[in-house]
C-alpha cells in the first residue's frame, strides 16, 4: 500500500477549494498496527485510522474492510463494478455513452454474476 504524504499547511485550499485534510502516518511496530492521523484543515479536530489487511479502526470504531466499504464507498461516490471500483462522479460525466453501448449485448449473463452491491 502506498503511504500518502502531504505538506500539512493549515487552511490550504489550493487543491480542493476547501481546506485540505492534514495527514500524518505512523508505521506499525510489533503488535501496533500502522496508523494515519487525519486533522481538519481549519482547526484541531482529529481522527485516527488504524489499518491492517483484515480490519480498519476509524475514530475508535473497529470493523472489517468490507463493512467499511459498504458504508463509506457510497459516501465517497465510488461504486463496485465486478472486480473494479468506479468513480461514479467521473463516470456520469465521461463514460456514460460507452456503458450504454456495452449494456445491450451482455445483459442476460451480467445479471447472474452481478454482486449485490
Ligand atoms: Zn476544522
Whether the CB-CB separation of 38 and 23 falls below 8 Å is answered with yes
What is the distance in A from the centroid of ligand 1 to the CA of 43?
Answer: 4
Residuewise pLDDT in 10s, the chain (117 residues)? 899 999 999 999 999 999 999 999 999 999 899 999 999 999 999 999 999 988 999 999 999 999 999 999 999 999 888 888 888 886 555 444 444 545 555 545 545 555 555
Whether the CB-CB separation of 55 and 24 falls below 8 Å is answered with no
C-alpha distances in angstroms, 106 versus 50, 79, 98, 100, 102?
Answer: 41, 20, 13, 11, 7
Q: How far apart are the first and last CA of the chain?
A: 24
Q: What are the boundaries of each domain within the chain?
A: 1-75, 78-106
Q: What pTM, to 2 d.p., does this model score?
A: 0.69
What is the distance in A from the centroid of ligand 1 to the CA of 53?
Answer: 30
What is the distance in A from the centroid of ligand 1 to the CA of 109?
Answer: 48
What is the distance in A from the centroid of ligand 1 to the CA of 10?
Answer: 10
Amino acid at each position: 500500500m502506498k503511504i500518502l504524504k502531504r505538506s500539512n499547511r493549515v487552511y490550504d485550499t489550493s487543491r480542493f477549494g476547501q481546506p485540505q485534510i492534514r495527514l500524518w502516518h505512523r508505521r506499525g511496530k510489533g503488535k501496533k498496527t500502522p496508523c494515519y492521523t487525519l486533522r481538519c484543515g481549519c482547526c484541531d479536530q482529529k481522527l485516527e485510522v488504524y489499518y491492517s489487511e483484515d480490519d480498519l479502526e476509524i475514530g475508535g470504531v473497529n470493523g472489517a474492510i468490507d463493512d467499511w466499504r459498504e458504508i463509506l464507498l457510497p459516501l465517497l461516490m465510488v461504486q463496485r463494478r465486478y472486480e473494479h471500483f468506479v468513480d461514479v462522479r467521473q463516470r456520469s460525466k465521461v463514460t456514460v455513452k460507452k456503458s450504454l453501448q456495452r449494456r445491450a449485448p451482455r445483459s442476460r449473463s451480467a445479471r447472474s454474476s452481478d454482486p449485490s452491491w
